[in-house]
Every structure is written in C-alpha cells, then in structure tokens.
Amino acid sequence: MLCAVVLVAASGGCGKRRAAQEPSPPAKERPALGVTIKRSETVQEDERGRPMWRILAEQTELDQAAARATVRRGEVEVFGEKGRRLMLSFGGLTANAESRRLHAWGGVTAKSDEARAWFRAETVTVDLKTDRVVAAGNVRGSNPVGSFQADRLETDMNLDRIRLSGSDKVTAVIGLPEKLQENKR
Amino acid sequence: MRRAKCVWSAGSILVLVCVYAVAAGTVAAPDSGKTARTVGTVRVTAKTMDISDRQWVLSGGRPTAQTSDGALFVEADRIVVYLDRQAKDRAGFVSKVSATGNVNVRSTTPDGQPVRVTARAATYNGQDSTVTFEGDVVVTLASPDLEEPGVMRAGRVTYYMNAGPDDTRFRVEGDPAEVRATPKARPAEGKGQGK
C-alpha cells in the first residue's frame, strides 16, 4: 500500500499554496523546504485551482517553497487544456510549478488514452505554458495510424500533430490493419 | 504541329506509328492474370515527418515510401501520404500518395516485370489504383517480349496498377510523346513447321 501524501503546492506566482503539513513560508524568502517524501502523491494546481499534474512517486524532494519537485521513479499524469491527459512513467522527473514545466528522464514512456498514442524516449519535456511536448533520444511509438522511430518528437498535449525528426532518417510504418479492424467493430 | 513517335510491337511485326499533335498512346498489359493491387501498409523514411490524422508529410533527406509488398517504391524531395480513417479495409487506408521534386519510382507489374519511372511529380490514387506521373516523364519497362527495356518519354503518363491482360497499363500523353520498344525476333509463322 502506498502511503499517500497529498500535497497541493504551487509557487507564489502561479497558484494557491496549500501545504498539507506545514504552513506556507513567506513568498519573499522562498526558503528551500528540503522535504523528502517517500511513496507520495503530489497534486500541483494552477492559480485557478485546476490541477496541472499529479505525481505518484517512490521518492519526492520538494524545494523552493514546493514550487519545484525532484522525483525518483514514478508516474505523472499531466492535465492539458480541453481535458486531454498525458501519462508519463519515468526514472527521474523535475516538476517546476513556476514555469509550468516537467522534465522527465531515465527511460520515459508517454501515453495518451484519448489520442490512443504512446511513445518512449530517453527524455520528455512538457511545457504547459506553450502546450508543447518534446521527446528526445531513441524515440519509438505509435498512434492509431502508424508506428515510428526517430531521434526527436515534438507535439502538443493533444498529440494531434506530431513532428518527427532525426539526425539520420526517421522511419515509420503507416497503416496498422489490426487497429483498423478494431475501428470497424 | 509537333510530332510524336511510337515504335510498337505486335506479334512478330514491327510497326512504326507516327501521330501528330498531342499524342495519347496506350500500352496494353501483357498476358497475365489480373491481380488486385492496392497500397496497404506503407513504410516511409525521411529527415522530418509531420504527422496528423489525415496526412503524413515527409521532407528532407530524400524521403521514401514503399508498400509492404514491395510493389511500389517512391523517392522524391517531398512526399505526402493521405489517409482515409473511415476506410472499410486496410487496402483503402492510404487514399493518396503525392510525390514532388525529382521523383524516382520503382515498381513491378503483376507479372513481375520491373518498371522504373522518373518525373517531376507523381500521384498514387487509391480509388482506382493508378499512379499519374507529370513533367519530363521517363518510363523504363522491361518485358520478356522485348529485346531491351522499352522507354517512354512524355509529359504525362498514367500507370494502371490493376491492369489485367486486356486492359490498358500505361496511358502516355505528351507533346510530343515517344515510345520506343524493340521486340525480340521470333521465327516467322510457318517456318520450321512440317519438318
């Protein structure tokens, strides 16, 4: 059983700060919390109280008034506009609430149930400010119309439009018959 | 008025046909069983791919597209693969493939004869399984009936991938259009008979 510690944390500039266990420090001082949480669930809200992401992790270190979290081995559910969600599993993750940016590394798998797409990469960066998702390093994945392999992938939270690029050639196979058969049913 | 030349084989008879103005020649498919050929799964390579629900745009590093059965290989400066998500089956999934810029196509006829085409642009249409080549088109077609591969030069050539033995395989249009094919020598009818 996970010992779930729910933190709703945000920086002074981008959201409500509601630390679960300690009173919030003054925004001016911004001391490092130095809090390490084992097996935790952390929900980050924006200034309107909407969730930006939810992190399930083996170990979470909070810093800078809980605006930045460094996470080891876990999953993060990222909430985009229009209700789209992206699930990342990772070896390591830095989540910065001020910049609304997540950077995952250590063998990252990204999956979107709504888009019926997934990809793996060495690193994945999600920027909620610009609605950009960038995956780099040995990218492999598929969406409902094909599978691909590239050095770099750029997309948005909807995964509707994907740009693949590579120092060498990008390879892909368009058309997955089993998926089409599923669609027919 | 411009002049187009067609060198044609009909059995063992070499026929020289000269037509004037815009030539619209056709080449019949050789005697082979009709085979349904449509693009199903396509393997693609490129430096950059822009993917959406309806199309894949391939650019940079001379993109290529090849059907899973190897019947069609396309190389060009830019290739766009159009998809029909409502397709009833796998065959209709790739609805169109558009290639532009130094297009180089390799294909095989249903009876296994190699076809090579160069052109400025090419479009595969999944509805009728045709490939239309435009701009300085050069088609090289090998056949066991020919001494050496036949060559067609034209402004526009339509390749009917599904052509049966009695169907038109190539429609050649140009101003001029030129078709050159040298048939293999065959023994004249009656010769060697009755011995």
Residue with tokens 């989540």: A95
* Chain-chain contact of A146 with B56 (C-beta, under 8 angstroms): yes
Name residue A79's amino acid.
F
Q: Which residue of A160, A171, A175 is in closest CB contact with B40?
A: A175
Residue A33: the pLDDT is 62
Greater confidence, B99 or B144?
Answer: B99
DSSP-assigned letter for residue B89: S
pLDDT classification of A89: cutoffs 50, 70, 90: very high
Structure pTM?
A: 0.78
Report the relative pairing of strands B168-174 and B146-160 from DSSP bridges: antiparallel
Q: What is the pLDDT of residues A110-164, one digit of tens each?
A: 999 988 899 999 999 999 999 999 999 999 999 988 999 999 999 999 888 999 9
CA B182 to chain centre: 19
Pick from A3-12, A123-132, B147-156, B186-195: least confident: A3-12
Scanning A130-169 for CB atoms below 8 A from B yields: 143-146, 148, 150, 160-166, 169
Average pLDDT, chain B: 78
What is the band of B190 on the pLDDT scale with cuts at 50, 70, 90? low
SS3 content of chain A, % helix, strand, coil (to 5): 5, 60, 35
Burial class (CB in 10 A: 0-12, 13-18, 19+), A97: buried
Q: Tens of pLDDT along B145-164?
A: 888 899 999 999 999 988 87
pLDDT of B24 over the 60 cut:
no
Instruction: Report the residue of A174, A184, A185 to disrupt the B interface, i.e. the one with the largest count of B CBs within 10 Å.
Output: A174
Partner residue opposite B52 with nearest CB, options A160, A173, A174? A160
Residue carrying the six token digits 């709703």: A8
Q: Which residues have a Cβ under 8 Å from the Cβ of B52 and sit 6 or more positions away?
A: A160, A161, A162
pLDDT at B133 > cutoff 70: yes
